[in-house]
Every structure is written in C-alpha cells, then in structure tokens.
Amino acid sequence: MTLTLGACAGLLGGDALRVNVAGIEPLAGEGLEMRFNLKLRVQNPNDSAVSFNGIAVELELNGKPFASGVSDESGTVPRFGETVVSVPLTVPAFAAVRQALGLADIAQSGQVPYRLQGKLAGGLTGTTRFTDQGMLTLPGMASQ
C-alpha cells in the first residue's frame, strides 16, 4: 500500500517519498455529514529533509467518490525518516447513503477497496501529487 510521491524527486536525484494509510478514526459529525481523521505516514528515503505546508486528499470507496479533506499542517520529514500527517475527512450525506447501499455485500469482511489521491504542498519541489489503492477497514465495519 505504498503511495508514491513522484513529482520532481527524480529531477533532484532523489527517490520519491512514500505515503501509507496509517489509520482512520471517527470524528464528531456536523449535521448530516460524517467525519473521519485520516492518518498518513510519509516516509523520506533520501539524504535530505523534505518540508511541507499543507495537504489535500480525495478518497474513493468501491470505485465511487466518498470523502475529501484538507489540512494546513506543516512540518518536515527528516532525512531517512518518517512522520505521520493527520487530515480530517468530510463525507457528504449523499455519499454516505450511496456507499451504504453499495457496501452490503462486503460487510462480512469489513474491508472495502479504496483509492486515495492527493497532494502535499510546499518544499523545494513545490506541490507533489500522490495516489494509492488497496483495502481499507472503516471504523464500525469490522465483522463480529
């Protein structure tokens, strides 16, 4: 489930950053919306630190748009190091209903196919885009 941040890493002689979904937790919703805290682990396999000053993501579940989120979190991924970035996700009410209807047949396993795309802003190379896909267990979906 490694996410490749490919933008200008090759031009600078470095390897692309790697991003993994580290977790997803429920947050208090607002109105008809559902909210989650998405945790992303950003790994830097290079000999120099990488700074960032914002992140935006879009999450698809089962091939359909599900949630999006932004964060103005900033920081630095140390050389040959990693950091965890939190992004609050908002799930519009209609997306939640659409997904609930489509997830009935995968409720047994508690896992759903996902695709994540986003961008990490800032640093020497500017905005870096990333994508990832795999299987995700949403809070409250795990089978008993």
E strands, the chain, where? 3-5, 17-27, 34-44, 50-52, 55-61, 64-71, 75-77, 81-91, 111-120, 128-137
**pLDDT given for residue 127 in this prediction:** 78
In a domain, 94, yes or no: yes
Are 61 and 78 in contact by the 8 Å Cβ rule? The answer is no
Closest CA to 1 of 114, 120, 139: 114
In terms of residue numbers, what domain contains 19?
3-132
Residue numbers in the chain where pLDDT is lower than 50: 1-11, 142-144
**pLDDT given for residue 18 in this prediction:** 86
**pLDDT given for residue 7 in this prediction:** 38
Read off the pLDDT of residues 38-52 as tens digits, 9 standing for 90 and up.
Answer: 999 989 898 988 888
**pLDDT given for residue 105 in this prediction:** 55
The model's pTM is: 0.75
- Max CA pair span of the chain: 49
What's the domain count of the chain? 1
CATH of residue 84: 2.60.40.1820
- Bridge-based pairing state of the strands 50-52 and 34-44: unpaired
**pLDDT given for residue 38 in this prediction:** 94
In a domain, 107, yes or no: yes
